[in-house]
Structure 1
């Protein structure tokens, strides 16, 4: 099969809106958090990969490292902030805690911006192989979680 170059229109707002809709499904949210907390997975990367799966596109094997490296700038900050927020949860007034969650969402959005920039800088092709979300779950050792991500978003939204 030939690997024909594909052009997609990925913007931060498009990925962000997709992520909000997809993550709002209880089963998806639980699987994402399980992947993050038990397999050290990156939820924003998984959401990006799901978006790419929905477009039926993928990137070359050698670009996996580049995509994962683009998380480096924000991952440590986001991880450390998330840990601090969790530790302070029961010591902060509700309003301050909600503000801390909002700030964390801004960090998440910045990370998605980094991912969008990265994806828009590499060559994409039609995906004739397995879904990227399955590959990522398998890579982390959480292949059993893939079932939560396997349905197309249209099927999930209509449940």
Structure 2
């Protein structure tokens, strides 16, 4: 058995609460939206990677494709819905638009559920290399955004 291999209990609720609080930081939210809109990054994946960074764990390099593949089921639906919501924003009553935002949040939560299932099926190890969030930003060509994600999350890391 690998001495670096660890066991970690990640639940959807733990990741969701972490995400809500972390994303609630203005600089983080702005950087996430920039990553999504300018670099075609996935915010839920970034939030998961940040949670793993806070735990000082990572998955194996050869498992990156598995993590990205698990997004496939929900990514197309989420993109299509998000585009539609943006188009109707000025053509529907505010209450209906707010309902559409709530539905989009449910789609986001489902995507996080898929990510949690995927991570829980992988072998995790202590991270002795660079943070996963840095690797992801670099992979997308948005390495400069990493500064917004690099600070430790003191109050919410143990969620």
TM-score (norm 1): 0.96
Cα distance, 1:37 vs structure 2 = 0.1
Specify every segment of 5 or more residues in structure 1 that has no aligned partner in the other structure, as ranges: none
After superposition, the C-alpha distances for 1:44-65 in whole angstroms (9 at most, x for unaligned) are 0000000000000000010000
Are the aligned partners of 1:25 and 1:156 in contact in 2 as well (CA < 8 Å)? no
Cα 1:12/1:156, change in 2 over 3 Å? closer
Alignment-derived partner of residue 23 in structure 2: 23
Cα distance, 1:155 vs structure 2 = 7.2
Are the aligned partners of 2:21 and 2:156 in contact in 1 as well (CA < 8 Å)? no
Cα 1:42/1:108, change in 2 over 3 Å? same
Aligned residues, how many? Answer: 156
Tell me whether 1:106 sits opposite 2:106 in the alignment: yes
Alignment-derived partner of residue 64 in structure 1: 64
Q: Secondary structure at the match of 1:118?
A: helix
Specify every segment of 5 or more residues in structure 2 that has no aligned partner in the other structure, as ranges: none
Tell me whether 1:135 sits opposite 2:135 in the alignment: yes
Cα 1:38/1:156, change in 2 over 3 Å? farther
TM-score (norm 2): 0.96
Alignment-derived partner of residue 12 in structure 2: 12
CA RMSD of aligned residues (A): 1.4
